[in-house]
Structure 1
Amino acid sequence: MIEMQVRKPSDDGLYLRTRYYQSMIDMGLLEEGADYDELNPSYIIFICPFEPFDKGRHIYTFRNVCLEDTSLELRDGATKIFLSSVGTANDVAPDVKRFLEYVNGILSNDAFVQEIDQEIKRVKKLEEERVRYMTYAMKMQEERKEGIKEGREAMQHDLALKMLKDHKPIHEIVRYTELTENQIRKIAAENSNVSFGEESGSHV
């Protein structure tokens, strides 16, 4: 499990959260029918844009050890890792350090960092697109509540045409516009420069 932290809590909530996540991971595995001796190793990783323990490190790794003999590890397979993007120690590999610099807003030429940056941009674009279509759909709902039939149909038509120009699959256009497939195909036939997306399995 990996979680990005926003700010350092004023109490011990961040550290106690590892117990909650560990219990959720173990319960999930056991509910799937695994025996205790078949539990997979688990890793809880917190990425922090702050110093979680005030020791200046980039990485803090915790496992269960015997207090009387710290060389004796419990070997229960549970590991908690805190990564700090503001560490100063020379304690991580160069690629990990470049990733932590990226958390601080520094984009390097590292292939892994570039891949993460592209994926984040892709997800943001999809989210913005989803919000845009949802906003349009909400406007149609407002029109429907007010009983303005002609205005609603015009907005349905405009939204369907916009999504066709964006090559969205027909099932997605049906979902957001509430038009039938036949109505959408008619709109597509009236506009030769539009087509359905690949997921629809057909093109106009």
Structure 2
Amino acid sequence: MEKEITITDNFMFATVMKDESVCRPFLERMLEISIEKIVYLEREKDLRVDPYSKGIRLDVHVKDSTRVFCLEMQCLDRKDLPLRTRYYQSLQDISFLDKGNVYVDLPETYILFVCLFDMFGKGIPVYTFENSCVEDRGILLNDKCHKVFYNVKAWEKETNPERRSLLKYFHDKKAEDDLTRCMQEQVIHNLNLREWRKEHMTIEQEIKLQARYAYDDGKAEGLSQGAHEKAVETARSAIAMGLSVEQIVKLTGLSDEEIEKLKVTVQQ
């Protein structure tokens, strides 16, 4: 059975957010700020320092006149998001600070992760991080960096009704106001576009191919501990993509029992 594609699919999320009439009010609601005009908006934005460094691919990259916003949909808890935000921030800064510029030219940056899980386990709908002094938390570093993690599982605890509506939409896929209905209409529209589905299928095939390469590399290492970890990571991605247990067994070499256990943790 073909996997149902919803707003929480990374590629679908990026496509819907590509529309400024959706992206701008989305950011305003989620961050409780005002944005006069978006001057740059790109889906699947690639950032890297040089050809030999690790690059990143942002779901959505947005700029207004003074700020930068990086949007990511995160379905699986890979336990590395704090370090990913650190790396994302560093690449953002390098991309903006050309030779001859001064540090005050760095824009205010927001890195946002919409998570389908509770990353910190505290049952809070929004976790916002800014740098402050350890000895006196009232002293902010004012480095214009904001990292925000949204926990859609805790949507009922959100007190801001507009943000609550968005978190609820990501949680149960039910559109209940103008913005979420507009987003859902775009989801349906994209699903009916042959070219969009073809592009989505191509991306999934690339993910499967990369996963297969990772598994083959692991087998060559004699199924060491590292190889097993690669297989588990591949299985998690395959589960999130909706592959069957039988398909994942063939892809990773893991047992049915291991995959069933992984499904429980992925779907929590």
TM-score range, shorter chain: 0.5 to 0.7
- Tell me whether 1:5 sits opposite 2:74 in the alignment: yes
Query: Residue in 2 aligned with 1:37?
Result: 104
- Tell me whether 1:103 sits opposite 2:170 in the alignment: yes
Cα distance in 1 for partners of 2:99, 2:174 equals 40
Deviation at 1:46, TM superposition (A): 0.4
Q: Which has the larger radius of gyration?
A: 1
Q: 1:74 aligns with which of 133, 141, 146?
A: 141
Task: Give the alignment's TM-score, normalised by structure 2.
Answer: 0.45
Please state whether the residue corresponding to 2:179 is helix, strand or coil.
helix
Cα distance in 1 for partners of 2:185, 2:195 equals 15
Gaps of 5+ in 1: 136-204
What residue identity is the alignment partner of 1:18? T
Change (3 A) 1:124 1:89: closer
Equivalence map 1:1-204=2 (5 Å): 1-9=70-78, 12-31=79-98, 34-87=101-154, 90-126=157-193, 128=195, 131=198
Task: Give the alignment's TM-score, normalised by structure 1.
Answer: 0.58
Change (3 A) 1:32 1:114: farther
Deviation at 1:92, TM superposition (A): 4.0
Q: CA contact under 8 A between 1:58 and 1:92: conserved in structure 2? A: no
Cα distance in 1 for partners of 2:84, 2:75 equals 14
More strand by share: 2
Higher relative contact order (CA 8 A, sep 6+): 2
Q: In angstroms, what is the RMSD of aligned CA positions?
A: 2.6
Cα distance in 1 for partners of 2:189, 2:98 equals 34
Query: Residue in 2 aligned with 1:160?
Result: none
Please state whether the residue corresponding to 1:81 is helix, strand or coil.
strand
Deviation at 1:128, TM superposition (A): 4.4
**Could you tell me the percent identity over the aligned residues?**
34
What residue identity is the alignment partner of 1:77? K
Q: CA contact under 8 A between 1:43 and 1:81: conserved in structure 2? A: yes
**Residues 86-144 of structure 1, C-alpha deviation per residue, up to 9 Å, x if partnerless?**
11663441111111111123313211111111222333333545629x99xxxxxxxxx
The count of corresponding residues between Structure 1 and Structure 2 is 132
Q: CA contact under 8 A between 2:71 and 2:113: conserved in structure 1? A: yes
Deviation at 1:47, TM superposition (A): 0.3
What residue identity is the alignment partner of 2:190? V
Gaps of 5+ in 2: 1-69, 203-268
